[in-house]
Each structure stands twice: as C-alpha cells, then as structure tokens.
Amino acid sequence: MSAAPNPPSPPPAAAVQAQPAARRWPVMAAGAGLLIATLAVYANTLHAPFVLDDPFSIANNPTLRHPWRLWEVLAPPGGGTTVSGRPLLNLSLALNYAVSGLDPWSYHALNALLHALAGLALFGLVRRTLARAPGIPDRLRSAALPLALATAALWALHPLQTEAVTYTVQRAESMMGLFFLLTLYCVARASESPRPGRWEAAAIAACACGMATKEVMVAAPVLALLYDRTFAAGSFAEAWRRRRRLHLGLAATWLLLAALVASTGGNRSGSIGFGVKAPWGAYLLSQFPAIARYLRLSFWPGSLTFDYGFNWSELSAGAIPPAAVVLLLGAGTIFALQRRPAAGFLGAWFFAILAPTSFVPGTTQIIVEHRMYLPLAAVAALSSCTAWALLGRRSLPLLAAAAAVLGWLTLERNRVYRTELSLWSDTVAKSPASILGHNNLGHALFQAGRNEEAQREFEAVLALNPGYPEGHYNFGSALLEQGRPAEAIAPFQEALRLLPSYANAHNNLGSALYQTGRADEAMREYGEAIRLNPDHPKAHYNLALALIDRNRLPEAASQLEESLRVTPDDIKAHNNLGNVLLQIGRTAEAVQQYREALRLDPSYANAHNNLGTVLRQQGRIEEAIEQHEIAARLQPDSADLHFNLGNVLAAAGRRAEAIEQYRTAVRLRPDHADAREMLRRLLEPPPDGGSSR
C-alpha cells in the first residue's frame, strides 16, 4: 500500500517549546472542566455493589490481601478470572483493598479517576495532533482546543462507557485504555521534541503497562507506527528512519504480552482463543451485527444492556445488512488510508482495537459494550471534526449540548448499577434470552429473600439451556437455602455431571449431603472442592465444621486457617477458630482470634461472649464481666448470654445482679434448666441460716 505524500517539515523546535502562561491557561481550564465533568457523572457509582466477575476477582482473590508482597500481587490467580494474566490490574485492585477492604467505594473512585485521566490523555492527543501535526487543514488547526475538548467530552461522558467504568473489574478495559492513549500521546510528543528520548522511553513504558493490564493493548504498537506515518513522518519508511528505536521498543512489549498470555494457558483457561470449543465461523459472523450495534449505540445509546446473551449468528438474510455496513466501512478505511490518511487513521483505530475480540472467538460473550471503550474515540473525533467542518463555530453549542445530554444519560445509566437486583432486572427486560441475566437475577432475588421468584428465574435459565451447569447449581442452592437439602442433591449432581470441575457445586453438594446425615460423602465433596480450588474459603470452612463435629480439632484448626488465608475478614471463621484453639489448649491464640473478630465487627456478640469466657478462666473477672455485659446488651433476647453473664457475676460475688440475669434467662426461655438451677441455688437460704452474698 502506498503511503501518503510527505507532509511539510514539522515546525522548528523553538515553535513547540512551552507556551507562555497566558496561552496555557485556556488549555488548563478546559482540562480541569473535563476532569470535573467526568468525575461528576460517575459520582453516583461509589456505593454500587460488586457484580458478576467482581467477587471472583476481588472478594475471593487472596493475592490482594497484602499489596506490599509484590511477588504475590503480580502473580494473579488463574482459572480464567478477569485478573488472570493481568498483573497491573491485580496490583490496582490490591491497592484498593488496602484502602477500603471489600467496601466498593474506593474501587469505584479509582475507576472514575482512571477514566477521567484517560479523557485528559485523549484531550491532549487530539489537541496536539490538530494544532501541530503537518497536513492538518487550517480550519481544523485553528480550532484545535475546542475540537479536542469536544472530542474528549463526547468520549468521556458517553453512557456507552459505563460498563468499562462502573463495572468494577472492567477497569481492565479503562486502565488499558489510559495506557493506550498515553502511549500515543508520548509518541506524538516524541515526534515534535528536540530531545525525544524521554518521550520515547515513556511511550514504551506506557505500552508495557498496557500489555500487563489487558490483551487488547496488542494493537498499540501498530497504531503508534500508523500515527507516526500519518501525522508526523509522512511515510512508513520515514517513520522507521526517524524513530526506529521507538517502534522497536514498542514492538518488544509484545514479548511481555506473549508471556502473560502463556501464563493463562494461552487461552485464558479455555475461555478464549482458537483452540476453545467455539465455532470460529459462527463467531465471526456474529461480530458483524455486534459492530453494527456498537455503531448504533455510539450515536443513539438508548438501549444499553449489561449482557446480550450468547447466540451464534447464522448466514441469513437478516445478517446481510450489518455485514454490508461493516465491510463497506472497512473498505472505506483502506481507501482513506491512501487518499485521506487522517480519516483513514480514525477508521484503522476503530477496527484495529476491535480486531482482537472480533476475530478471536470466546465461549462467554459475543456482544460486549465495554469493547467500545477506545474505538468510541474515533467516532467522537470524527463527529466533532465533521460538525466543525460543516458549521464552524456554530457547531460548538451543538457539541456542548450533545456532551451534556450524554453526561445526563450516563448518570441515569449508572443508577441501574445501584443494586444487583436493578442491574439484572434491567438486563432481563432488554435481553430476555440472556442466560446470564436470568441466572444472576435469580441470585439477586434469592439474596433478597424472594425465593419463589428466584426459583422461576433459575427455571428460565434451564429452559433456555438445560446444559448450563450454573443454572442447575443455582437451582440447587435455592432449594438448599429453603431448607430442602434432600431435593437440592440432584441439581448439584447434574451440575457436576455437566461440569465435573465445578468447585462450588462440589461444596454445596457437600452441604446438602451433610444436612441429610451423609457426613462421609459430604467431607469427600468438600475435599474435592478444595482439590479443584485450594483457595475456596467456604469449602475449607465447611470441612472445618464437619471436622469439629467429629472432634478432629487440630485438622479443623488447619482448615479454618486456610479459609482465613483467603478471606481474612470472615468474622465467623475467626470466632470458630478461637473456639477450636481454646479446646486444644492454645488459649493465647484463641484470644487473638476473638479480638480480631471484634476488631472486624465490634457488635459481634458471640465473640464478646467467648472472649469473656476465656478471661474468666484466666481469673480476669472484671474484664470478663465487661465482655459478657456487652454480649447481653447486643443480643438482649438470648437466654444463654444472660445465663453466662449471671455466671460471671456470681463468680464475682455480685449475687443480686446474678439473680437478675438468671431470671431474665428463665423469662426468655422457661425450659432453661441450668438457669433455673443457678437461680434456685442463689435464692435458697444458706445452710447455717446466715446471709449469703
């Protein structure tokens, strides 16, 4: 393919030095306005819950617990989770965990900030390109600042971006997008700098960071070379001659990406790649309507959907129009790269960034809105420049109004993410064929205690796809929660027939078996869940409870410690570990566990009660009384807690107060034999007829 004619030489170095402060303030003001507007439209996301892949990548991710152990953080867990093979994404989540634990506010705050910074990077890239790149028409060059601001605002405030920003672990997309834009920005700066070395190094560093965040970054070195050819050097040969070191460095980051992809088995644990069980031809056909939908949503984002279902396209009359649109745009891009290089670059940006997910088949999703995170920049830039070319300054109010409307739509879209129930209800309403939507709506209804409605959603999942293991698993979980363990066994077994490596199903089958008196089988299921996923906290915890019932206390302690290794904030696990340690004589460690449970939740009455019991055994009566009083105050309807408080008060010689606590215990539970006996002993007169304390 022939390159565009060589453009005029770049401006002399003196012309691109720092501008006087009086000329910089409009740029700074525009950037500040963009930053504030972007953060404002995502301000209502701070308390949105974790959804879909978030629990697997955050709550059940043990590598986040100690961010200072970089060797652990930079080796994220596999299994096809969102963080697999993406160490910088995992590191960013570990920093959030250090700030707020499993409270989602800091995760959402960082997501919004990363998106706002990406908007600033796009603003800087577009402004410098329009203002300084050779060959840009004077009409566009003179409007570089407002056009750059309009492009970045349309992009940053667009509701199509919400899935990449508000859905927590899709930070993978937005964070990679930031590094992608920074790479191109640094390439632009290197092309105009008299000392380009530092900008070239920064571009390579940003590119490497992007490769360690998400695989779509693979397109960055290609687009960097195309940018250099289009907006700086004028031809590929000249770009290579001037900046060979830069482009070799960018290409070298592919080695890092290859190593990270290999760490996931080369196919993200069987979820994506040419070797997975997905018909490539059908997948490719499905991408024509997918890309056509992305374009429609770019201009009319009225039906955004979290999950579109998973339906292969077939070669039919209905598939022809979207295929024709996409192929025509692709052909136009190839033509423009030769005749209209700037417009061709925007087309290449759009298609090159979508190419990895459009050509490489996956087994989970076909249409995914967050894939448009970076391609939308080309649509925004083309829209802004076209509006200016047609209307001149009269386009600015229209562009500002469009950005404002998009920002309002983003605020409204973010409201859907406020709860799992609202998100999945919206998904099912817009995409009735979404198995994932029905499945997760059922789970949300189940969590809300609406079991009958949840069961209907799980039945809808199985009607759509009887071979969907998670549908059987959730159906069994609903039955288990309703206290019907015998009926839950069959759905769990069917889930495991379809997917023998389903660790959660093994764990829940174990619970159903245990509750029906089949303890030996249950323990085998817990063990299998742990074998398949050594970081399965619930399986470790459930196995520990079974071991406690069999008085195998040292083994139980080991399982509880493993559970806490994965989920160190599990209050009940700390409390139960304290109980086990106390029974095997490790009293000091038991006290530590009770105190840790209370640090995590000062209102946990059982831990106060247990700590009080240990303190009493150690002869620290006043401290024990304090702990038992707190426990009884936190759970005033518990006869046992009042009984225990009565015991420690009696041991301290505070007879009247002890009697009051025993009476309260008997009032709450008239059949409390121990409380009645202690009350009788304290109320009957002493044998010598004297008074007793």
Q: Is the pLDDT of residue 22 over 90?
A: no
Residue 497 is which amino acid?
R
Q: What pLDDT band is residue 685 in, cutting at 50, 70 and 90? A: low
Per-residue confidence band for 343, with pLDDT thresholds at 50, 70 and 90: very high
* Token pair of 508 as six digits: 């829940």
- Do the Cβ atoms of 312 and 297 come closer than 8 Å? no
User: Between these two residues, 685 and 95, which has the higher pLDDT value?
Assistant: 95
pLDDT digits (tens, 9 = 90+) for 231-263: 999 999 999 999 999 999 999 999 999 999 999
pLDDT at 1 (0 to 100) = 37
Average pLDDT on 358-378 reads 87
- CA separation, residue 405 to residues 145, 300, 378, 379, 544 (Å): 21, 11, 19, 17, 55
Q: How far is residue 210 from each of residues 173, 203, 262, 263, 658, measured CA to CA in Å?
A: 10, 11, 17, 17, 66
Q: Rounded to two decimals, what is the model's pTM?
A: 0.81
556-560 average pLDDT score: 96
pLDDT in tens, 478-517: 888 888 999 999 999 999 999 999 999 999 999 999 999 9
What rounded mean pLDDT belongs to the chain?
A: 90
Q: Residue 185 above 90 pLDDT?
A: yes
Look at residues 553, 621, 540, 543 and name the one whose alpha carbon lies nearest to residue 586.
553
Q: pLDDT tens, 388-432?
A: 999 999 999 999 999 999 999 999 999 999 999 999 999 999 999
Residue 3 confidence (pLDDT) above 60: no
Lowest mean pLDDT among 8-17, 96-105, 309-318, 566-575: 8-17
Quick one: average pLDDT of 350-372?
Answer: 86
* pLDDT level of residue 274 (50, 70, 90 thresholds): low
Q: What CA–CA distance (Å, rounded) separates 118 from 108?
A: 15
Give the model's pLDDT for residue 66: 86
Question: What residue spans define the domains of the chain?
Answer: 22-49+104-268+279-415
Q: What is the pLDDT of residue 531?
A: 95
Q: Where are the alpha helices (DSSP H) in 482-604?
A: 485-498, 503-515, 519-532, 537-549, 553-566, 571-583, 587-600
How much is the average pLDDT of 289-304?
93
Residue pLDDT, tens place only, 200-213: 999 999 999 999 99
pLDDT at 78: 80
Q: What is the CA radius of gyration of the chain?
A: 31
Q: What is the dihedral of CA 51, 53, 54, 56, to 10 degrees?
A: 130
**Which tens digits make up the pLDDT trace of 595-614?**
999 999 999 999 999 999 99
Alpha helices in 212-235 (DSSP H): 220-228
Give the C-alpha separation, 26 to 60, whole Å. Answer: 46
CA-to-CA distance for 80 and 176, rounded, in angstroms? 18
Task: Give whole-number Cα distances, 624 to 21, 234, 635, 675, in Å.
Answer: 68, 81, 17, 19
Mean pLDDT for 313-321 is: 65
* Bridge partners for 272 per DSSP: 362
Q: Which two tokens stand for residue 2?
A: 């022939």
Provide the pLDDT for residue 10.
46
Tell whether the model's pLDDT for residue 183 goes beyond 60.
yes
What secondary structure letter does DSSP report for 77?
-
Is the pLDDT score of 171 beyond 90?
yes
Q: Is the pLDDT of residue 657 over 90?
A: yes
Q: Any idea which residue has 């339906």 for tokens?
A: 311
